[in-house]
Structure 1
Amino acid sequence: MRPRSLRLAVFALGLAATTLIASAATPAQADPAHAPRGTDAAPAGVGPVFSATDRLAREVAGALADPATRDRVASAVTAGPVDLLTAGFGARADRTARSLNQAVLAAKGLPETTGSVLRLRLGHDGMAGALARSERPLVAAASTDDTTTGVVAYDSAGGRVVLDPIRLPARPVLVVEVDVRKAMDRGLAQVRQELVARGLTPVRSTVTAQAGYWATKVNAIRLNDDKEPWIKGAAEIFNVVGGFGLDGKPTVNIVEMPYLDNDGTIYYPNQLLVHFNNYKYNLADVVMWEDDGDTNYRDLAKALITALLTVVDYGTYTPLVNAIIDAMPASWWTDDPDYVDSWYTLSTGSSGRLNGAAANGWMDVAPYWVQQL
């Protein structure tokens, strides 16, 4: 699932539309369209991460020409995602996987110590039966383009097949992708470190006059259904929660929502989103982002630092949402990470259903008193 990117014009017009309710549907099945061999047209989503995963998809498809390798991989991937650096596809494919993993780490601004971030998974749970019947799978890279009109897959003979991005293909498909959960955990930890180094993340207050403090708790949350391609996996959602620290400097916390996998689904996390003991004013903003694989965390940290250092405390609260969004590279509005939605000026008294400013989701929130031990 990927909540569709919204344009900056939404904010320029100041729109506050109501939440669109839609239910996710199981994709219909479709037969693939075979592209001419030797076609060099680049598939959609041609950023550095997709270029690497697409190349690796071709290598993996070629390795599956060997029946023993194909049977072993089919059995493994049916049980769950497979680490592509340890899967054992043969000397050539293994060398390519190691090289491309390094390229992906560099493209995402991650250190080499992160290890493997490339994996292979089944395109849809419903394809397991076909693999069990020894049907030959296609191999495709997970696109990072929201508006892709075709999923490019490869067969073991070197053929290139274009699949419908909405209707589930009749033939089983294995997907080469970034392990976004692992990459995001490491990447956001790196972002937090850089924000701390610049004094832009508040130090937790350990003592309060009231022996506790107010927080905003998310009781329920839902993002809209946007009919995303079947090849995309679960979303990885994180929030940039911004306000003014006790020293008057703009400051942010990164809050992850690892449970928020699918749009069109209501989740009940009971998660604390804003901790008001860290803020000078009784207000904070939330900007929600989603990462499907292309996020460069080094660039994210730089963008946040740039945005926050331009905001001045004039003695009254200044919303940080626009500053954060405006600082993001223009390419992030057509590629990862996707802007999902934002919530302005949450306070200690915020309660009930709050629609996002971009009308792409809502949260049910309530004040929560955090008792000091």
Structure 2
Amino acid sequence: MKLMSVVMLSLVSSVGVATFTAQAHSLEINRIHEMPNEFASFHSVAQNKREIAQALANEYLNMGDALQYQINEYQLSIDLDELAGISLSTQSNINQHNIQIKQLKGISSHQKNSEQSIIKLRLADESMLARLHAGEAPLFSYASGDEEEGNVEAFDTDGGIQYLDAYRLPTQPVFIVELDKAETMKEGIKAMNEVFDSADKEVVNLLLNQPFFVAPEPMSMTVIKNIKLKDIKESWISGPAEVYAIISGVSAASAELTPKIEVVELPYLDHAKKEYTPNQIIVQWDHYRWQAVDILLMESDDNMNYKVLATALLDVATQVLQLIPEAGTQSAAVITRLTNAIIQAMPDSWTTNEDDYLDVFYTILENQTYSEYHGASDNAKITLEPLVIQPRH
């Protein structure tokens, strides 16, 4: 998916802001060129999956009967640590790949059980069950990030390599080595929010210094009533999407202009052209200095380290805000520039099989209702409503 261009929505004609625009543009371009080097090693996530797929194809004569029993109409995927019939050496090799992938994803310190597998083996489609159970030898494949070129690499049980059409589901059974997206994204979002929260040290200090008895106040929120995506450009090998939102604004924790970025998981939003009605809180307004934020929708894929992503986004957002003259600056214009800097700072490689840009909603205001509201790229439609949660007295 190629990164869609985003039009600057707010223009301020002051000399100070014009100077900022030129400086920020230069900063963003430099940042784009720097980032691919930082993220170059993350393509080894695909290499890890490839080696696992090849090993399992070679092991199929040993594990085939057990795998056919474990995979059925009620369960099309299993964790690799539950896979029966494979040799101890292959299991040890898979465990090493599991550890390396966690490190590459930036979640190795977040799981309670560091040895728990985040790798699954999934039959590509239920339609393949009959041929699998009839004894047809399957192929073993993985999502590499090159699917946009039209080919999917797969290993057969005779040690050979075959290439499948990325957008046409095969009839031969195909097992896909993939990450447990739900678990990986849940732990990754924890890692990202830890990075963002560390930038709000003043909030932490303020809370610690407050007296124990503080009169509770109502909490102002915005909730998603319904949401729908037009398109999620995934091939059959990638499975359902995992979508999250980046909420960007200016922190309420500092007297200066500092970014406040939060990440919210949208775990239900896994298919295009389907309307979801989650009633999910998306913005907690007391975290933000002004009554406006932007909401950026992203699709999570494999080749991205959550900690490095969060650090990079926070860094570029901080640099952008430091270039803005605060006096007389319009809040909506600031937040728009902040979000555009985040989008523009993302390398092109993130829009292949890394985290895909889906759409952006600019200038979402507190206490406002947005009905069937279209994103800037017209790929997402959302209904947002205000919600005030009263304290318990």
- Please indicate, yes or no, whether the TM-score normalized by the shorter chain is above 0.5: yes
Residue 215 of structure 1 pairs with residue 210 of structure 2: no
Determine the structure 2 residue equivalent to 1:136.
137
Q: CA deviation at 1:251?
A: 0.5
Where structure 2 has 5 or more consecutive residues not aligned to the other structure, the ranges are 10-41
Deviations 1:178-229 (A, max 9, x none): 1121111112111212222222796699999994243221111111235631
Residue 109 of structure 1 pairs with residue 106 of structure 2: yes
Q: CA deviation at 1:146?
A: 5.3
Residue 309 of structure 1 pairs with residue 318 of structure 2: yes
1:19-98 alignment, distance < 5 Å:
47-66=43-62, 69-78=63-72, 79-88=75-84, 89-98=86-95
Q: CA deviation at 1:80?
A: 3.8
1:47 is paired with a residue whose SS is helix
1:136-215 alignment, distance < 5 Å:
136-145=137-146, 147-199=148-200, 211-215=217-221
Determine the structure 1 residue equivalent to 2:18.
none
Give the AA of the match of 2:267.
Answer: P
CA contact (8 A) 2:304 2:355 kept: yes
| 1:323 alignment partner, one of 341, 345, 349 | 341
Q: 1:240 to 1:208 in 2, by over 3 A?
A: farther
Of 334-343 and 260-269, more deviation after overlay is shown by: 334-343
Determine the structure 2 residue equivalent to 1:224.
230
Q: State the percentage of identical aligned residues.
A: 29
1:337-348 alignment, distance < 5 Å:
337-348=355-366
Q: 1:366 to 1:209 in 2, by over 3 A?
A: farther
Following the alignment from structure 1 to structure 2, what is the Cα–Cα distance between the partners of residues 289 and 178?
18
Q: 1:171 to 1:200 in 2, by over 3 A?
A: farther
Of 207-216 and 303-312, more deviation after overlay is shown by: 207-216
RMSD of aligned alpha carbons:
2.6
CA contact (8 A) 1:166 1:227 kept: no
Deviations 1:230-265 (A, max 9, x none): 111111111111112223532112111000111111
Of 201-210 and 302-311, more deviation after overlay is shown by: 201-210
Q: CA deviation at 1:342?
A: 0.9
Deviations 1:21-77 (A, max 9, x none): xxxxxxxxxxxxxxxxxxxxxxxxx921111111111110110023xx102112213
CA contact (8 A) 1:202 1:251 kept: no
TM-score w.r.t. the length of structure 1 is 0.82
Residue 279 of structure 1 pairs with residue 275 of structure 2: no
Q: 1:75 to 1:323 in 2, by over 3 A?
A: same
Rg bigger for which structure? 2
Q: 1:334 to 1:252 in 2, by over 3 A?
A: same
1:285 is paired with a residue whose SS is strand
Q: CA deviation at 1:345?
A: 0.7
CA contact (8 A) 2:229 2:379 kept: yes
2:264 is paired with a residue whose SS is strand
Determine the structure 2 residue equivalent to 1:11.
6
What is the number of equivalent residue pairs in this alignment? 335
Structure with greater helix share of residues: 2
Give the AA of the match of 2:296.
Answer: V
Determine the structure 2 residue equivalent to 1:291.
300
2:236 is paired with a residue whose SS is coil
Following the alignment from structure 2 to structure 1, what is the Cα–Cα distance between the partners of residues 168 and 364?
40
Give the AA of the match of 2:79.
Answer: D
Residue 332 of structure 1 pairs with residue 350 of structure 2: yes
1:169 is paired with a residue whose SS is coil
1:353 is paired with a residue whose SS is strand
Give the AA of the match of 1:62.
Answer: N
Determine the structure 1 residue equivalent to 2:20.
none
TM-score w.r.t. the length of structure 2 is 0.78
Of 267-276 and 311-320, more deviation after overlay is shown by: 311-320
Give the AA of the match of 2:385.
Answer: A
CA contact (8 A) 2:124 2:236 kept: yes
Q: 1:124 to 1:202 in 2, by over 3 A?
A: farther
Determine the structure 1 residue equivalent to 2:273.
264
CA contact (8 A) 1:188 1:297 kept: yes
Q: 1:215 to 1:270 in 2, by over 3 A?
A: same
Give the AA of the match of 1:122.
Answer: L
